Amino acid sequence: MSDILKVAMPKGRIYKKASKLFREAGLDIPVDVDDTRKLVIEVPEAGMEFIMAKPVDVPTYVEYGVADIGIVGKDVLLEENRDVYELLNLGIAQCRMSVIGLPDWAPGIQQRVATKYPRIASQYFREQGQQVEVIKLNGSIELAPLIGLADRIVDLVETGQTLRENGLVEMTGILDITSRLIANRVSYRMKNARIQALCDALQQVIPASNEVSAGIFRG
Ligand code: AMP
């Protein structure tokens, strides 16, 4: 195995937070890396290669070992249920997964719930003893109750602005979400010193208000 650590980085809103944390941990990541449209980026200064992935695909790249490690939200980790090690709670991209609906929502005979997270939502409603039909959507979930596709949705809430602007209300919080550092099982053994050194450096700079998961457990 090469000494280069292949890192599946989430493209989009979480990338900036992740690269900021890496820099705070002492990694030398040139600023031009942030603006490039390249999908595979060599970062020799940090001994890394970034694989710029759609966040939902990060656990897949890590499970198959084309990335040694990756950064991914707990939401995606639970939904995808991939065979990877979860090493650290990075404490960034904090939000919550909630049940959301119109203010006048009342239980009907048929209940439909739209979400990007059918596995998490189905498990939640099963545990609550509520029989619902879960409909998978890939984006703009807030549309569903507005146009009558579903009674409620399960989605992420950060500031609550999206809900307010669409006349929706948060009914129940299901999960607190933050980004996690994950690792491929073989890479974790073969590149243990590198990965452990990175974890140690990150642990020094993880936002203190967040609980840090030490050790390894399945995501
Ligand atoms: P907000 O309006 O700040 O409550 O943000 C809610 C919108 O941003 C929803 O469409 C969410 O799906 C999305 N969102 C919020 N936080 C995150 C996150 N940490 N990761 C991915 N999407 C998020």
List domains and CATH numbers for the chain: 5-93+178-203 (3.40.190.10), 95-174 (3.40.190.10)
The pLDDT of residue 209: 58
C-alpha 191 to ligand 1 mean position (Å): 34
Q: Residue 210 has what pLDDT?
A: 53
Report field, pTM of the whole predicted structure over 0.75: yes
Q: Which pLDDT score is estimated for 107?
A: 84
**What atom in ligand 1 is closest to the CA of residue 160?**
4
Q: What angle do CA 155, 152, 74 make, to 5 degrees?
A: 20
152 C-alpha vs ligand 1 centroid, how far in Å?
Answer: 17
Instruction: Point out the ligand 1 atom lying closest to the alpha carbon of residue 177.
Output: 19
Atom of ligand 1 nearest to the CA of 12: 21
Ligand 1 atom with the shortest distance to the CA of 94: 19
- pLDDT at residue number 3: 85
Q: Are strands 169-177 and 48-53 parallel, antiparallel or unpaired?
A: unpaired
* Best residue among 76, 90, 140, 156 to mutate for probing ligand 1, ranked by most atoms within 8 Å of CB: 156
Report the nearest atom of ligand 1 relative to the CA of 141.
Answer: 10
User: How many Å apart are CA 25 and CA 19, to the nearest integer?
Assistant: 10
pLDDT confidence of residue 103: 95
Q: What are the pocket residues of ligand 1 if the criterion is a CB atom closer than 6 Å to any ligand atom?
A: 13, 73, 93, 95, 155-162
Ligand 1 center to 131 CA (angstroms): 26
Pseudo-torsion of CA 189, 190, 192, 195, nearest 10°? -110
Predicted local confidence at residue 1, as pLDDT: 57
Protein residue with its CA nearest to atom 6 in ligand 1: 157
Ranges of the chain with pLDDT below 50:
211-219
Q: According to DSSP H, which parts of the chain are helical?
A: 15-24, 58-63, 74-80, 118-127, 143-147, 161-165, 185-190, 192-205
CA atoms of 132 and 56, how far apart (whole Å): 24
| pLDDT confidence of residue 139 | 96
What's the pLDDT score for residue 109? 66
Gap from CA of 157 to ligand 1 centroid (Å): 5
